[in-house]
Amino acid sequence: MKSTRSKLEIVNNEKHQKLKIAIDSTLVKNSNVHMSHVVVQEIAEVAQYYPIFLSKDGETGRFHIVALFGLQVDENIYQDSALWQECYLPLKLQSQPFYLVNREQNKGPCLAIDVADERVQTQQGNALFDNGKVSAYLKQQSNILAELTKGLILNRTFISALVEHDLIEPIELDIKYNNGEHNKVDGLYTINKTKLEKVPAVNQKQFEQKGYVSLVSNMISSLNHVATLIDIKNELLRTRKC
């Protein structure tokens, strides 16, 4: 997620030769992020740590695959409980503070950096360049963005298949904590298991061939992490009261 005061600049080996990125502060930077986009290539790994849902873009109506970190806006339970450093970090967050931008038509995307991001500095961290040459770290970030871009394209194909078979349904999390607090989380969607079982055999075979069966299975099984989030939140509320 970009800073509200972001300032993107095309990465340049002269202008940015002294820049370094303090990657150790990435978790803190996202300490109030309650969800992140994820792509199909990482769903199996993401599902080991976070509940995976779909969310709908209010402007375009398009669905996106997201990992949920908190049970309300600006809440990251993994960070609050000091567990996040042990979890997999989605590519969307790994790529920060770099982005792909279109500079000119027909020239493809360019690698840009948000120079207003507090992780960008000259004192310490991973250097962008080594004696004017692209560093191993910058190559890594470029590869992450390429994988992320590829994943977003694959996401659209996968989601289109779910929409085509009417497999996406809204879900509301109605949560009551041990201290009596009540919370409803809406705006999330999941996969309708009943309709999934009724998908015609020929389409189910296509799902298997494209790897969609495992994606759906991982997404559905990941929802068990919601109960874990609630348990952790209950413990956080208890300790804050003490």
pTM for the predicted model, two decimal places: 0.92
Alpha-carbon span 80 to 32, nearest angstrom: 9
What is the mean pLDDT, run by run of 10 residues, along the chain of 242 residues? 71 95 88 96 98 95 97 95 94 95 74 94 94 95 96 97 97 95 95 94 94 97 97 92 64
Identify the pLDDT of residue 185.
Answer: 94
Hey, where are the domains in the chain?
Answer: 9-241
Identify the pLDDT of residue 1.
Answer: 39
